[in-house]
Structure formats: structure tokens, C-alpha cells
Amino acid sequence: MISGTSHLVVDATDHVAGRLASFTAKQLLQGNRVSLVNCENIMLSGSRRNIVGEYKKFLEIGSIINPKHGPFHPRRPDTIITRMVRGMLPRTKTSGIEAHKRLRAYIGVPKPLKTTKKTQFDKAKIKRPAADYVTMAELGRTVGWTE
């Protein structure tokens, strides 16, 4: 793994979400800036019915007093993965807060990052055929994301 203060651009296509989030969190804590591109192509392992059902149940959690007070649940693929990475950082400590500020997640590839070299985490890649997974885009569309 790379350490120090470098800028990693990770092509998240065909990566398992949890593994990608943990590798990303590790890089952020080491002081690297990380940009995740193609977040809509991140894979979630499990059956479509279970993943969507669990996420819809998660969306039902709200405030007792007034829904405008939160909690606010992400529906876009880039914000879902950002939230997953945040869960793997010590977000109440200064190191975790600073690490989270170094993370950027994008749907597609933005113009400034098109020419940069993109890396992938080999241990986070899917091992079965892509049909056995659910993409973040599918989950997002099912729970209310409008592209």
C-alpha cells in the first residue's frame, strides 16, 4: 500500500462495497487523498431482495419529534459509499475528521480526473460473476435516487 501524502484516484468499478470502504479508510488514515470515481458501479454482495429490503428498513428510521431534524439517509451511490467510509473512520477524533475531509466520491469520472492514472484494490474486486451482485446504481434507483 502507498503511504504518505499522495493522491489516489480509485476506479471503483466492480469492487465490493465494504472491502472498498475499508481499504479507502485505511488510505485516508495514512494521510492520502482518495478520490473514488464510477461509484455507481460499486457492487453489493447478496441477493437483490435482501439488500433492497434492508436498505428500505434503514430508511424508515427517522426522528420521533420531526423528520426535518434527521437522520438523513443517503440515496445517491457516491453519498452511500462516503457514508460507508465514514463509518470505518474514528469520526469523533481529529484524525478521523481530517481523514474524512480528504475523501471525494464521484458518479462517473469528472473532467479534471479523466487523464489521471486510476488504481484499483485487487483484494476488493468481485470474485464471482457480476450477475451475482447488485450495483449501487440499482440500489439507489430503487430507494429514490433520480439521476
- pLDDT category at 1 given cuts 50, 70, 90 is very low
With a cut of 80, say whether residue 4 has pLDDT above it. Answer: no
C-alpha torsion sign, points 98, 2, 130, 39: positive
Is a pLDDT exceeding 90 seen at residue 18? Answer: yes
Positive or negative, the CA dihedral 114, 6, 31, 122 is positive
Convert 16-48 to b/e letters by CB count within 10 Å (16 or more is b).
bbebbbbbbbbbbbeebbbbbbbbbbbbbeeee
Location of C-alpha cell 482518495: 34
Least confident of 16-20, 71-75, 95-99: 71-75
Encode pLDDT of 88-137 as tens digits: 999 899 999 999 999 999 999 999 999 999 999 999 999 999 999 999 99
- Name, in order, each residue with C-beta under 8 angstroms of 83's C-beta and a sequence gap of 6 or more: 74
| Domains (range + CATH), the chain | 7-143 (3.90.1180.10)
